[in-house]
Every structure is written in structure tokens, then in C-alpha cells.
Amino acid sequence: MPVSGEFADWATELTVRHIPVPVRRATGRRILTAIAGGVGAARVGLVDPAVHVAVGIGGPPEAELIGHAAGRLAAPAAALANGMLIGAARSDPEGVGAAMAVVLPVALAVGQEVKARGDEVLVAVIAGHELACRLAAPDGSRSVGVLGGALAAARLMTLDRDRVRDAVGIAGGFVGEPIGTGGTVGLAGGIAAGNAIIAARLAASGASGPACGLDELCRSWRLRRETVVAGLGAEWACEAHRAATVSDYQFDLETCARLGGSRRDARALVAEVRALAFAPSLDSILALTVKVAAGT
């Protein structure tokens, strides 16, 4: 079976009960760190061009921006801006962890669009991040976030295994390598997040991707197929991936000090994210990021 088929089968059957608690906790810490970075980038206007473009695109009211009271925008536009906001604050924007700056904005945007439960969003983030971690190079030289983002989007859109495979295959057409350093921070991640949703929507509308697209990528990257899919569902590459180094308590205090938001709002945001597996509202999480960023 092609690698994309293996991941499609696994992702469509995955539930929160199949995911070990340590993996869920590690992912929760990464989500907290990513959202905190996005709030900080929004507060200081680090990627205002992305916000302006996203608002200009507009579209149907599907998803909101981190740290901005811009109202609901089309999900690909929101993912573009949120991907840049999260990516801009990373200390290692080219590292393997950059995949989360693509997968999370996709899951937040599509999760809001389809009104997914919190546990569904968490499962989509973990599935997409697991795919990215299994394909990523140790030096972060591969752009794999769009592949994980497409898998997360397809999972939240409840596509069947064939459409999931197509979504990931189509996303492979958006895989590109960096052509230099510098430029606007977070740009690559934001574009990848928007493209991941477009890939999933194309698959949902009947577009097909190459049946062995991931296999071709593995060959070009000199990855053994057996290594990429080994232990899928039993072993978790994303668990070993570098997690956040701050505790939730440190996040609370440092966010307040750095961003000027109220301690109550910061603690409420931490509580919402920590409870993600228990179906909190994504709307509440995004609304709290606006309050913290505004320093109210």
C-alpha cells in the first residue's frame, strides 16, 4: 500500500482514545506555546501585512484570527494570517518544529468552519503533526508542514480515506524548499497553512492527487518507506519531538508580563487550551487571545 494510503487509513480511524496521554499533554504544551507566540506577534504588529491581506480576502465568515478582532474570514485566509503569526514568534523558524506553525492554524481554521469539538481538533493536530515529524529532516530543511496540514484539514472535514489520500497528494504539489534567508518572518508557514486547506478542499470537490505522491517524496528525500510508517499508531514520532520548555504556570505569568494582558484572561486561555480534549469552544480560545493581546 502507498505511504499516503497507510496514513489515510490510520488518520480516518484515529480517535482521542487511541492517543496516549503523554502525547496529548506534549501536544497541549506545543499548542499553548504556539498560541502565546501568535498573541505576542499580534500585539506588536509583527506580521501586519498578513493580517491586512487576510482581511482583504474576506470571504465567508468561517474562522477568526489570533489576537485580532477582525471578525470571521474565509478559513484559508485565517490560516494564512494565523500561520504567519505563530511562525513569526518561533526562535527556530526553519527547524523541524515549524510544522506545528502550519498544522495548528489549519486545524483552528477548519475546526471553526465545521464547528468541530475540541477533541476532534486535538486529534487532527496530532495526526498532522505525526505525519510531518515522520517525514521531516533533522535539520528542518524540508517543507513538510503543508502535508501535515492537509491531513489535519481532511480529517476535520471527515473525508473518506481516498479523499484524505488525495488531499495529502495534492498538498505534495505545494512542497517547496527555501530559496534563501531573510524576508518577512513566518511567511512560508502562513502560505503553507492556506495551501493545506486548499488541497483538502480540492480533494473534497473531486480532484485527485498522485496515488504514490508520498512514496515519490520519500524516494527523492532518501527515506525508507518502512521507516516512515513503522509502528504507526503504536509509536509516536511527535512525542519525541522537542516540546515546549515552559510550564503552564510560567506561560501564565510570562504572557501577562510580556503582553500586558490581565492575569485572569491569560489563566482563562491556559485553562481553555488545557481542556481542549474536553470540547471547549474554539471561539472562546480565539476570543481570549484578542483580550490578552489588547491588554484589557
Listed in sequence order, the DSSP H helices in 89-138 are: 100-114, 118-135
Mean pLDDT, range 77-84, rounded to an integer = 94
Query: Domains (ranges, CATH) in the chain?
Result: 3-246 (1.10.4100.10)
pLDDT at position 72: 93
Confidence of residue 204 (pLDDT cuts 50, 70, 90): very high
**Residue 76 and residue 68: Cα distance in Å, rounded?**
16
What is the average pLDDT value for the chain, to the nearest integer?
A: 84
C-alpha distances in Å from residue 10, one per residue of 47, 93, 293: 36, 29, 38
Q: Could you give the dihedral angle defined by the CA atoms of residues 120, 126, 128 and 130, in that order, rounded to the nearest 10 degrees?
A: -150
pLDDT at position 256: 52
Contact 58, 74 (CB under 8 A): yes
pLDDT digits (tens, 9 = 90+) for 106-136: 999 999 999 999 999 999 999 999 999 998 8
**Whether the predicted pLDDT of 245 surpasses 50:** no
pLDDT digits (tens, 9 = 90+) for 12-65: 999 999 999 989 988 888 888 888 888 888 888 888 888 899 999 989 999 999
**Whether the predicted pLDDT of 92 surpasses 70:** no
Report the amino acid identity of residue 57. Answer: I
* 115 three-class SS: coil
* Exposure on the CB side of residue 112, measured as CA atoms within 13 A: 28
Confidence of residue 248 (pLDDT cuts 50, 70, 90): very low
- Cell triple for 8: 489515510
Specify the higher pLDDT residue, 42 or 141. 42
* 138 three-class SS: coil
What pTM was computed for the model? 0.90
Confidence of residue 96 (pLDDT cuts 50, 70, 90): very low
